[in-house]
């Protein structure tokens, strides 16, 4: 595999060292040093800052298939991790071309400066098409991304580090990106010229279990009429129910759902059994499936992008969705009292479920987008309709 800049005389200042020993040379951006993770690819054409701050990418090195990353700069509004000052857990970024100067009225900082400030390593000058093809054919590889301005690397040490990293299977990463203390959320979605606003008190009290929640999820819950209290991933059923919620939201997040489920499933089972309306997405979807008796599997290459078609059996419609997951629910494992509601039109994998007798449902994709299309915003209204019906009953 060669770099996109193979004919340049510039010496390499960054490397990707795959677990099988292959080395890809390029030019370093952002922070210096090294980081190990799983290499995935994302096909979105916009929203690189939201992607780079999505906690669901913890433990991963993102290869952007779109060549122009950084051209609109960065700002303080498009950060998705709830703690704006923290790193979302992403290990690095892979770009085809160098970062150009930003051309956008909202830009406040060059992407390279922003990467440095967040201690994130990036590499440019890579043939991202070849790397993406490798992932599609052979599955997501483990690798080390390294940046040294003088081009000096301990190749053998980097190979050893990449080969010995255990990978995401069996790894609980939710604790590392979750809030450690409960807090409330009342910020609404961004509006042209006015930006974000603070919502007035609403009718529905919702507890959001934070496994790596994104800001725009919380904003859309607020827009839908919810007063949101965010609790840590390790919260017990007693912690959740002490807030007397009308509903419980299970957030997105990184890592192996089975590993996170070792402490979260008991909480989720108790909530569902008590008939509290429950809505999960991404990791939350996978853990709801586990709590209801299903199983999850590691995917060959995962789904990462903003253009994934999904069929909704409940409406008969196709929606274009934003996805970011490397594990999936095994639809064949779902018990008889749970039905599949959504399915991927790319590969037929499970993308949604609901319990037939309990008020609980979930989807695999990211209905809040950020980045991505807004086809799935209706799911937040579906959640409030469920809570309204439960209160009326």
C-alpha 197/C-alpha 357 separation (Å) is 37
State yes or no: is 76 an active-site residue: no
State yes or no: is 366 an active-site residue: yes
Q: Which of 25, 50, 80, 368 is catalytic?
A: 368
CA distances 2 to 12, 25, 111, 125, Å, are: 12, 8, 25, 9
The DSSP element (H or E) to which 116 belongs, if any, is: helix 111-117
Give the DSSP letter string of 8-59.
--SPP-EEEEETTS-EEEEEEEES-EEEEEEEEEE--SS-HHHHHT-GGGTT
Tokens representing residue 284 in the block: 């939350």
C-alpha 145/C-alpha 39 separation (Å) is 10
State yes or no: is 368 an active-site residue: yes
**CB-neighbour burial class of residue 85 (10 A; exposed 0-12, middle 13-18, buried 19+):** exposed
Neighbouring CB atoms inside 10 A of 110's CB total 16
Q: Which of 282, 285, 319, 325 is catalytic?
A: 282
Tokens representing residue 383 in the block: 């959640």
Give me the torsion for CA of 236, 364, 290, 142, rounded to 10°. Answer: -100
Neighbouring CB atoms inside 10 A of 69's CB total 26
Tokens representing residue 168 in the block: 């995401």
- Beta-strand ranges (E) seen in 211-349 are 226-232, 247-250, 278-281, 296-312, 317-329, 338-344
Query: Any idea which residues carry the catalytic annotation?
Result: 282, 366, 368
């Amino acid at each position: 595999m060669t770099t996109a800049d193979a004919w340049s005389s510039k010496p390499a200042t960054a490397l990707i060292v795959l677990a099988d020993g292959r080395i890809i040379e390029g030019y370093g951006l952002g922070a210096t040093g090294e980081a190990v993770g799983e290499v995935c690819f994302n096909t979105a054409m916009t929203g690189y800052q939201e992607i780079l701050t999505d906690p669901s990418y913890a433990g991963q090195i993102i290869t952007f298939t779109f060549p122009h990353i950084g051209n609109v700069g960065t700002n303080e509004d498009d950060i998705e991790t709830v703690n704006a000052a923290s790193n979302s857990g992403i290990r690095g970024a892979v770009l085809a071309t160098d970062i150009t100067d930003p051309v956008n009225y909202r830009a406040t900082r060059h992407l390279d400066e922003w990467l440095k400030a967040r201690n994130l390593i990036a590499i440019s000058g890579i043939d991202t098409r070849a790397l993406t093809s490798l992932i599609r054919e052979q599955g997501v590889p483990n690798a080390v991304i390294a940046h040294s301005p003088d081009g000096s690397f301990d190749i053998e040490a980097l190979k050893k580090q990449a080969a010995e990293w255990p990978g995401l299977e069996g790894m609980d990463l939710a604790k590392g990106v979750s809030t450690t203390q409960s807090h409330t959320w009342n910020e609404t979605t961004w509006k042209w010229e006015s930006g974000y606003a603070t919502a007035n008190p609403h009718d529905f009290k919702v507890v959001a279990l934070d496994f790596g929640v994104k800001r725009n999820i919380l904003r859309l819950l607020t827009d839908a009429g919810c007063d949101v209290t965010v609790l840590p991933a390790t919260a017990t059923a007693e912690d959740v129910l002490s807030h007397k919620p009308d509903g419980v939201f299970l957030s997105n997040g990184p890592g192996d759902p089975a590993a996170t489920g070792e402490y979260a499933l008991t909480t989720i089972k108790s909530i569902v059994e008590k008939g509290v309306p429950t809505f999960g997405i991404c990791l939350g979807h996978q853990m709801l499936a586990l709590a209801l008796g299903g199983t999850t599997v590691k995917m060959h290459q995962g789904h990462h992008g903003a253009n994934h078609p999904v069929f909704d059996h409940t409406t008969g419609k196709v929606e274009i969705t934003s996805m970011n997951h490397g594990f999936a629910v095994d639809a064949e494992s779902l018990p008889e009292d749970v039905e599949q509601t959504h399915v991927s039109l790319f590969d037929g994998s499970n993308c949604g479920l609901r319990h037939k007798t309990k008020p609980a449902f979930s989807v695999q994709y990211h209905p809040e987008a950020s980045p991505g299309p807004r086809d799935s915003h209706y799911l937040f209204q579906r959640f409030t309709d469920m809570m309204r019906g439960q209160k009326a009953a």
